[in-house]
Amino acid sequence: MNWLREVSWSPYAVGIGIGMLSWFTWLISGKPIGCSTSFARTAGMIEKLFRGKKVENRPYYQEVKPTVDWQWMLVLGMVLGAFLSSVLSGDFRWHWVPRQWEAAFGPSALLRVGLALVGGTLLGFGSRWADGCTSGHGISGTMQLAVSSWISAICFFVGGILMAQLLFAIIA
């Protein structure tokens, strides 16, 4: 079982693994792999803590109920799975500032966390606007040949490449 302790696997092995995993999520649970809806549900659950049950009256939360469901457990499992993989290979480490960010913008954790917060806000807002993320549209939707998912996936990368150029070629 030494392969479980390797730091990294071929991207093709990982890709085939994810493709095969999607066969089983459809077959056993009748669902595609996806992630971003769970963050919307969690946002609703947090708002409910402060504002009570009336949050459920928001039209959005009528469609996306603020509860724990199959996909929410999937996302929780992903944290555990990545932890398990990185601990087995000795690749687990606490980081505040990723290496390539530090090379461009310096070692300030405050700057990194602040801009991660802004980036996360755009990401969360955009994922719910587009009704999916890199998993739900980018992998599960494109393999179902959905037009909505192909447009979304292409736009994720167009926006991402533009912003990465702005950050690393122009600002840094």
CB of 128 to another protein, least distance (A): 4
Pick out residues in 83-112 that bind another protein (CB under 8 A). 83-86, 89, 91-101, 109, 112
SS3 59: helix
Spatial distance between the Cα atoms of 96 and 18, rounded to a whole number of angstroms = 28
CA–CA separation, 165 vs 161, rounded Å? 6
Subset of 12-71 contacting another protein (CB under 8 A): 12, 14-30, 32-33, 35-36, 38-40, 42-44, 46-47, 58-61, 64, 68-71
Please say which residue, 106 or 125, places its beta carbon nearer to another protein.
125
* 6 touches another protein (CB under 8 A): yes
Of 9 and 106, which CB lies nearer to another protein in the complex structure? 9
Q: How far apart are CA 34 and CA 138, in angstroms?
A: 9
- Sequence letter at residue 8: S
Q: Side-chain half-sphere of 145: how many Cα atoms within 13 Å? A: 0
In the complex, minimum distance from the CB of residue 1 to another protein, in angstroms, rounded to a whole number: 13
